[in-house]
Amino acid sequence: MGNLSEMTCIGQEITEELGYQPEKFFLHRIVRKKYAPKSGEGSFIIAPLPHRVIDKGIPSVELLTQLLVNKYIDQLPLYRIRQRLARIGIKILDSSIDGWVKTCLNWLAILYEYVQEQTKLQDYLQLDETTLKVQDPKLKGKTHSLTTEKGFKVKTQPGRTVRTSMKTLQKFKPSRMNQSD
């Protein structure tokens, strides 16, 4: 850079780079003190564990959240998630990860039911119909359409009501691709 003894600093140029650090795993350590009676007689006392998503399980809330994001937001199948974990030295049994996902979905089902009930209590709701292509496990390479239709009753001005039913339907319809009428 040369001799700077005869120079005065008038500012700086900043260059930023976006870096990447592979996933980090760490152990949460929950320390609970045990107390025993000074007399030596009687039972000891220990603080209860904080509530955990999976009792006696090793995954933290953060790990379970990332697992669900990888599977349902990033659309990664569980075997790929296991492969990613294995590449960085974390080996977890297939049955463990499968069980973790099922447990999380059971917890989320409770939340879903609550939100659904609260939604049904609202005065005005709209109709939604969504069609998705799903694979047919019986026929390799074939898909079906899964249609979800939701209809809700609507309350309007006093003395005037619109009557519709409260229902959620999911039905498979065979795909009509490659069919001639």
Query: What is the model's pLDDT at position 127?
Result: 59
- Residue ranges of the domains in the chain? 46-121, 122-175
Q: What angle do CA 76, 26, 55 make, to 5 degrees?
A: 75
Name the H helices within the chain: 61-68, 78-87, 94-120
Nearest Cα to 97, choosing from 61, 69, 59? Answer: 59
pTM assigned to the model: 0.60
Query: What is the model's pLDDT at position 180?
Result: 47
Note the Cα 115 to chain centre separation in Å.
16
Most confident of 75-89, 141-155, 164-178: 75-89
Higher pLDDT, 177 or 123: 123
Mean per-residue pLDDT, 150-166: 51
Nearest Cα to 53, choosing from 102, 113, 90? Answer: 102
Mean per-residue pLDDT, 119-137: 68
Query: What is the model's pLDDT at position 159?
Result: 52
Q: Is the pLDDT at 168 greater than 60, yes or no?
A: no
